[in-house]
Amino acid sequence: MGKKWLSYKDAIGHELVVAALAANDGDIAAAHEDMLKAGYEVSEKQLANFANSKSTQVLDARQKMAPRLEELLTADLLDESARSTTIIAMALQRTEERLVANTIADPARVARDISQIRSQGLEKKLALEGRPEKITESRSLDEVTRALEGLGVARQVAIDATSEEE
């Protein structure tokens, strides 16, 4: 199939240009490549002019594409996570074998690295489950003192201080 020149009357070609610009976030060179793949002969200068004159249409198309692009990115991340999990398991297995054989020069560093992997994994698991990764509490000194008094651990003493001038 030969290349088709983009004309002003070609509504489908114009929709493809909007889609190419939106899909490539306004990157003229990448949109040009997409148009060539779609069988359209169009210059980068034409695409730049089109992007300027139809910026609202390109932005609208980009907003409509965003949910689908996010779905694709999420699916890619899940695939990469699954692959990473397999690789991490292999690395842990080999590290364990080297630890048992006592061939690791710095076991403390290995323990630190594995501890960090474990902590990150647990934090991500809690986040995915919607559970807090850490719990913090903010109380004033008076609130802490009253709580300690209530437990019978401490009591508040009034300090009567005066200053003397020389």
Whether pTM exceeds 0.75: no
Q: What pLDDT, on a 0 to 100 scale, did the predictor assign at position 157?
A: 76
Residues 120 and 82: their CA atoms lie apart, in Å, by: 16
Residues 114 and 98: their CA atoms lie apart, in Å, by: 14
DSSP 64-99: HHHHHHHHHHHHHHHHHHHHHHHHHHHHHHHHHHHH
Is the CB of residue 17 less than 8 Å from the CB of residue 47? yes
Q: What pLDDT, on a 0 to 100 scale, did the predictor assign at position 11?
A: 81
Instruction: For residue 161, name the pLDDT band (cuts at 50, 70, 90).
Output: low
Token code pair at residue 82: 């699954």
> What's the pLDDT tens digit per position in 23-36?
888 899 999 999 98
Q: How many CB atoms lie within 10 A of CB 97?
A: 11
Give the CA-trace dihedral at 46, 52, 57, 58, to 10 degrees. 80
Token code pair at residue 83: 């692959």
Token code pair at residue 8: 């002003």
**φ and ψ at 105, to 5 degrees?**
-70, -35
Mean pLDDT of 105-118: 90
pLDDT at residue 94 tops 90: yes
